[in-house]
């Protein structure tokens, strides 16, 4: 390419940056074609820029057009440009295309491997992610995070913990996303002791101040049934407290039967302008997650905001949402017994129901009332 064309391409290419901030991917592709009309053959930088726009906008068709142009014009592609191509396919959910580009690459760097591992992980291909990870000649925190998060998302929480321990043994330094993944695994496995150990690691590296990691730590403590004061201490360490962190603390008090304290926290949130109930309601109502609606109703109930409880229930019915059955299990004599709420699949279900019925009758005879703080409004 001549010097004139090279300079022209350089000037035109630099305009891709403001363009991708102002317009959609389709216009970027048109502008990419405009380079050819000017007689300036796009280089690796132009290709990478256009592919990045397509990736960020999940514009698979546009990305494929750029890839086709590269192949047709035999554009020289360095490792960085090929990485952009793989990343585009991964972000657009076309892992098979990303795999094809990966396999054809004559040279790879740590980013190449990491993007491919992350692509498998984000698309539910855990075994392929693990295989690719095992073949990596170099690893970094991002690649470790990809496999740990993938294990946790796929329900392999024990494997996630094992990978975290292996990561530390190999001297890799975890970051906030690492702690988020392993703390979620601790929550699912209900292993408080391991969670406390991870908390210690976070304190040493100052990650307790991170909003995302700090909120996940609070959630772990709340779900493992520790004293509410531990949840509150985790909240105090977070640098910037938000509606999420305060909501976790609020739910923790409510779940532990401390209704008056929960009510005080909720009104404190309103006074501090952390959130209004309208904002909280809007945030939950925008999604179709039944658990989120139920949690919001319970939060309003804890604060005795009965009109708001009724409004959430109305939305719940209008969306025709269904409450997912709760699940719990217990291990007795090396045999695991699983129970679903409203379920009767257990082999000893009749005996269990009879025992529970007798127990409930005995509790009522002794004057037990479930959540007495909330019962006053329904008692004549």
CB 180 within 8 A of CB 216: yes
Q: What mean pLDDT is predicted for residues 181-189?
A: 92
User: For residues 228 and 86, what is the distance between their CA atoms, to the nearest angstrom?
Assistant: 46
Q: What is the CA radius of gyration of the chain?
A: 27
Q: 144 versus 54: which is more confidently predicted?
A: 144
Kindly give, in sequence order, each residue whose CB lies less than 8 Å from that of residue 5, ignoring residues fewer than 6 positions away.
39, 40, 41
Q: How far apart (Å, rounded) are the C-alpha atoms in residues 256 and 216?
A: 19
Q: Scanning the structure block, which residue is given the tokens 């990809």?
A: 146
Going by C-alpha positions, the residue among 172, 176, 230 that lies closest to residue 207 is: 176
Indicate the range of 50-54, 160-164, 186-190 predicted with least confidence: 50-54
Residue pointed to by tokens 């690691």: 201
User: In the prediction, which pLDDT does 176 show?
Assistant: 92
Token code pair at residue 327: 């699940």
The pLDDT of residue 248: 78
Residue with the bigger pLDDT between 173 and 366: it is 173
Average pLDDT over residues 49-60: 85
Percent of the chain scoring above 70 in pLDDT: 67
Contacts of 3 (CB under 8 A, 6+ apart): none
The answer on pLDDT for 47 being more than 90 is no
DSSP class of residue 23? S
Runs of H (alpha helix) within 176-258: 176-189, 192-204, 211-223, 228-237, 243-255
**225 vs 380, residue with greater confidence:** 225
State the virtual CA torsion across 76, 40, 33, 22 in degrees, nearest 10: 100
Q: Measure the CA–CA gap between 287 and 13, rounded to whole angstroms.
A: 40
Residue 197: pLDDT band with limits 50, 70, 90 = very high
Among residues 78, 71, 73, 72, the alpha carbon closest in space to that of 97 is found at 71
- Which carries the bigger pLDDT value, residue 375 or residue 111? 111
Distances (CA, A) of 308 to 180, 277, 311, 374: 32, 8, 5, 15
pTM across the whole model: 0.64
Which of 73-82, 96-105, 200-209, 306-315 has the lowest average pLDDT?
Answer: 306-315
Tokens 């086709």 found at: 68
Tens of pLDDT along 354-367? 888 888 888 888 77
Q: Is the pLDDT of residue 105 over 50?
A: yes
Q: Which of 30-34, 121-125, 268-272 has the highest mean pLDDT?
A: 121-125
More confident residue, 42 or 56: 56
H or E element that contains 363: helix 349-365
* pLDDT value for 175: 94
Say which residues have a Cβ less than 8 Å from residue 87's Cβ, sequence separation at least 6.
51, 52, 55, 115
Lowest mean pLDDT among 145-149, 191-195, 238-242, 287-291: 287-291
Which positions ≥6 away from 174 have C-beta within 8 Å?
Answer: 141, 144, 164, 167, 168, 182, 201, 205
Q: Which of 20-34, 205-219, 244-258 has the highest mean pLDDT?
A: 205-219
Residue 206 pLDDT level (bands cut at 50, 70, 90): confident
Mean pLDDT for the chain? 77
Provide the strand spans (E) within the chain: 327-332, 335-340
70-86: average pLDDT: 88
Provide the 3-class DSSP secondary structure of residue 198. Answer: helix
More confident site: 123 or 297: 123
């Amino acid at each position: 390419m001549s010097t004139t064309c090279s300079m022209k391409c350089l000037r035109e290419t630099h305009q891709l940056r403001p363009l991708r901030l102002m317009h959609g991917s389709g216009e970027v592709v048109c502008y990419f074609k405009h380079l050819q009309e000017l007689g300036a053959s796009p280089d690796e930088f132009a290709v990478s820029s256009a592919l990045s726009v397509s990736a960020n906008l999940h514009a698979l068709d546009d990305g494929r057009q750029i890839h086709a142009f590269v192949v047709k014009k035999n554009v020289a592609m360095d490792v960085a440009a090929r990485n952009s191509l793989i990343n585009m396919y991964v972000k657009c959910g076309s892992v098979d295309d990303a795999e094809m580009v990966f396999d054809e690459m004559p040279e790879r760097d740590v980013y190449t491997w990491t993007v491919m591992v992350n692509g498998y992980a984000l698309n539910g291909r855990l075994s392929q992610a693990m295989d690719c990870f095992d073949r990596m000649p170099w690893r970094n925190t991002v690649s470790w995070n990809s496999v740990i998060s993938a294990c946790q998302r796929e329900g392999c929480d024990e494997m996630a913990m094992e990978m975290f321990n292996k990561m530390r043994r190999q001297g890799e330094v975890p970051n906030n996303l690492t702690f988020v993944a392993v703390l979620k695994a601790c929550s699912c496995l209900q292993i408080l002791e391991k969670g406390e150990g991870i908390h210690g690691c976070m304190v040493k590296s100052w990650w307790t101040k991170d909003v995302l990691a700090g909120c996940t730590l609070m959630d772990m403590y709340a779900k493992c049934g520790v004293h509410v004061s531990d949840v509150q201490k985790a909240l105090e360490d977070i640098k910037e407290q938000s509606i999420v962190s305060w909501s976790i603390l609020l739910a923790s008090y409510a779940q532990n039967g401390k209704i008056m304290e929960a009510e005080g926290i909720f009104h404190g949130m309103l006074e501090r302008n952390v959130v209004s109930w309208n904002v909280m309601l809007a945030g939950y109502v925008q999604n179709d997650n039944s658990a989120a609606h139920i949690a919001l109703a319970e939060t309003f109930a804890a604060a005795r905001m009965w009109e708001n409880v009724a409004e959430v229930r109305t939305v719940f019915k209008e969306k025709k949402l269904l409450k997912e059955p709760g699940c719990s299990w217990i291990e007795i004599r090396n045999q695991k017994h699983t129970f679903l709420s409203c379920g009767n699949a257990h082999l000893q279900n009749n005996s269990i129901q009879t025992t529970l019925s007798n127990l409930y009758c005995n509790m009522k005879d002794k004057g037990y009332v479930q959540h007495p703080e909330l019962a006053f409004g329904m008692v004549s």
